[in-house]
């Protein structure tokens, strides 16, 4: 169903994207890319992947560091709080402490998930800031690598992308007219997945702003918004966490946005059809929208929750625009405790069974799974 799931199964565990950029693979369902960045004695790790894939990841990480002459990690950056990006963090920290004698600082945009969810303690993170710069070392006598943090919410409130760019050295300027040795690229996390399709979106308006920000960077320095420092060259590659790099980013971004607009159109048509059902007095529940999906989606907690989260994001946008009315209704059918636990397990696979149902109170799950609203078109 998702092309990128099959695509990820064929990914190598270890590949060099370009000098100073190594892509590792954390095996899981789905696989997730982990990035080792830098050219000097210290490197930065972006995401850490699944806890279940930590053994092979650390073998590959150790090999990558030895082969590239890296002596330690200076930082770990987490693109967002989802389990496939963060669960191995404590394992990686402990491995680094045993091997190098230090624990590298971990950075993430703030997001207050609860302490009993099985994810690393939020108090151990340093907060990221939009446009924050991380030096990645020299890449020639006159050039330096650096990573620029871009706050790109939409898939999750704390989502970060990284613009990796080459800039003139502060110690020795390049000769006039010298060509930049490496073009800029963006590690885009889960804003996109391999093949250019969009991932689950929690807040659609924020998502549109985020992908437009990336589009401006792909158009080049003359088009970048004033509040975003632009690289000297346009970005020509987006590297997602799942699937292969996107080497035609402008067309991929336009295609993803067009698909979202089409999804909104079909959702409005579906809402109009659902309102004709006599049982839909007062509007349709969020769960009613699952009826248009095939059984393999409706019966799979992961896929069904993804479908509902995406539908909710579109409805939230339509309500804000005044095209759909949201009405609180206490008799909306609820999900069963088993359904809540199965869905919560998607986000918190290491949480205790006793805590799974209560974790659905966390946004964004609460907005969907504990919804007490009906929706109807504005006539």
pLDDT at 334: 59
Out of 213, 248, 283, a domain closes at 248
264 in any annotated domain = no
For residues 213 and 127, state if they share a domain.
yes
Considering the domain architecture, whether residues 227 and 346 belong to the same structural domain is answered as no
For position 283, what pLDDT does the model report? 79
b/e sequence 263-294, b meaning 16+ C-beta within 10 Å: bbeebbebbeebbeeeebeebbbbbbbbebbe
For residue 166, being part of any structural domain is answered with: yes
Q: Are residues 313 and 216 in the same domain?
A: no
Residue 151 has pLDDT above 80, yes or no: yes
Average pLDDT over residues 139-167: 93
* Strand pairing category for 324-328 and 238-240: unpaired
- Indicate if 180 and 309 belong to the same structural domain: no
pLDDT of residue 136: 95
If one counts every other C-beta atom within 10 angstroms of the C-beta of residue 164, the result is: 29
Q: Which of 248, 265, 288 is the last residue of a domain?
A: 248
Q: Is residue 222 part of a domain?
A: yes
pLDDT at 122 over 70: yes
Q: Residues 41, 71: contact at Cβ < 8 Å?
A: yes
Q: What are phi and psi of 139, to 5 degrees?
A: -130, 50
- Of all residues in the chain, what percent carry a pLDDT higher than 70? 88
Joined tokens for residue 306: 């993804």
Asked if residue 266 is part of any domain, the answer here is: no
The set of residues, in sequence order, having a beta carbon less than 8 Å from that of 125 and lying 6+ positions away, is 78, 106, 107, 108, 110
Taking residues 278-292, what's their average pLDDT? 76
Is residue 346 assigned to a domain?
Answer: yes
Residues 33 and 74 in one domain: yes
Contact of 120 with 107, CB cutoff 8 Å: no
For 107, phi then psi, to 5°, come to -120, 145
Please determine, for residue 159, whether its predicted confidence score (pLDDT) is greater than 90. yes
pLDDT of residue 277: 77
Q: What is the pLDDT of residue 368?
A: 65
Give residue 67's pLDDT: 92
For residue 133, give both structure tokens: 């710069």
Q: Are residues 334 and 241 in the same domain?
A: no
User: For the chain, how many structural domains are there in total?
Assistant: 2
Whichever domain contains 217, its CATH number is 3.60.15.10
Position 9 in a domain: yes
Q: Is the peptide bond before 364 cis (omega within 30 degrees of 0)?
A: yes
Indicate whether 174 and 284 sit together in one domain: no
pLDDT value, residue 4: 45
- Between residues 156 and 198, the one the model is more confident about: 156
222, 156: one domain: yes
- The pLDDT, as a whole number, for residue 114 is 78
- Which has the higher per-residue pLDDT, 212 or 177? 212
Name the DSSP letter for residue 56.
H
Q: Does the pLDDT of residue 42 top 80, yes or no?
A: yes
Instruction: For residue 70, give its domain range.
Output: 3-248
Choose one of 199, 232, 248: the last residue of a domain: 248
- In three-state secondary structure terms, 35 is strand
Q: What is the pLDDT of residue 227?
A: 47
Between 103 and 327, whose confidence is greater?
Answer: 103
**CA-to-CA dists, residue 112 to 126, 162, 253, angstroms:** 13, 22, 30
Kindly tell me if the per-residue pLDDT of 260 is higher than 80: yes
The count of residues in the chain is 379
More confident residue, 323 or 371: 323
> 221 with 360, same domain?
no
- Claim to verify: residue 311 and residue 240 sit in the same structural domain: no
Instruction: Give the chain's mean pLDDT.
Output: 86
Do the domain assignments include residue 254? no
Is residue 244 domain-shared with residue 315, that is, in the same domain?
A: no
Residues 352 and 303 in one domain: yes
Tens-digit pLDDT profile for residues 293-328: 888 888 877 778 788 888 889 999 999 999 999 888
| Cβ(255)–Cβ(220) below 8 Å | no
Q: Are 4 and 243 in contact (CB under 8 A)?
A: yes
Residue at 368 is within a domain? yes
Dihedral sign (CA 89, 58, 356, 4): positive
Residues 6+ apart with CB under 8 A from 48: 26, 34, 54, 57, 76, 78, 85, 86, 87, 88, 89, 91, 92
């Amino acid at each position: 169903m998702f092309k990128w799931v099959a695509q990820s199964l064929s990914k190598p565990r270890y590949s060099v994207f370009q000098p100073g950029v190594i892509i590792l693979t954390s095996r899981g369902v789905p696989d997730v890319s982990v990035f080792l960045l830098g050219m000097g004695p210290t490197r930065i790790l972006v995401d850490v992947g699944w806890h279940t894939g930590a053994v092979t990841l650390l073998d590959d990480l150790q090999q990558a560091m030895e082969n590239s002459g890296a002596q330690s990690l200076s930082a770990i950056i987490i693109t967002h709080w989802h389990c496939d990006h963060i669960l191995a963090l404590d394992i990686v920290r402990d491995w680094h402490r045993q091997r190098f004698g230090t624990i590298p600082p971990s950075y993430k945009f703030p997001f207050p998930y609860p302490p009993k969810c099985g994810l690393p303690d939020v108090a151990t993170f340093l907060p990221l800031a939009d446009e924050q710069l991380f030096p990645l070392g020299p890449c020639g006598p006159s050039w330096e690598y650096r990573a620029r943090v871009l706050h790109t919410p939409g898939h999750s409130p704390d989502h970060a992308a990284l613009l990796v760019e080459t800039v003139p050295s502060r110690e020795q300027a390049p000769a006039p007219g010298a060509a930049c040795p490496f073009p800029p690229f963006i590690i885009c996390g889960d804003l996109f997945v391999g093949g250019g399709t969009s991932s689950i979106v929690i807040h659609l308006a924020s998502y549109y702003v985020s992908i437009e920000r990336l589009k401006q960077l792909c158009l080049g320095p003359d088009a970048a918004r004033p509040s975003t420092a632009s690289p000297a060259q346009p970005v020509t590659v987006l590297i997602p966490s799942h699937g292969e790099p996107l080497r035609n980013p402008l067309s991929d971004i336009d295609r993803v946005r067009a698909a979202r607009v089409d999804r909104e159109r079909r959702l409005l048509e579906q809402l109009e059809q659902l309102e004709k059902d006599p049982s839909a007095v007062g509007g349709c529940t969020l769960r009613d929208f699952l009826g248009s999906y095939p059984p393999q989606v409706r019966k799979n907690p992961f896929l069904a929750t993804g479908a509902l989260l995406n539908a909710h994001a579109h409805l939230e946008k339509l309500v804000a625009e005044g095209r759909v009315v949201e009405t609180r209704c206490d008799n909306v059918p609820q999900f069963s405790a088993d359904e809540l636990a199965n869905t919560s397990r998607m986000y918190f696979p290491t949480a205790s069974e006793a805590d799974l149902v209560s974790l659905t109170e966390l946004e964004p799950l609460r907005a969907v799974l504990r919804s007490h609203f009906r929706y109807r078109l504005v006539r």
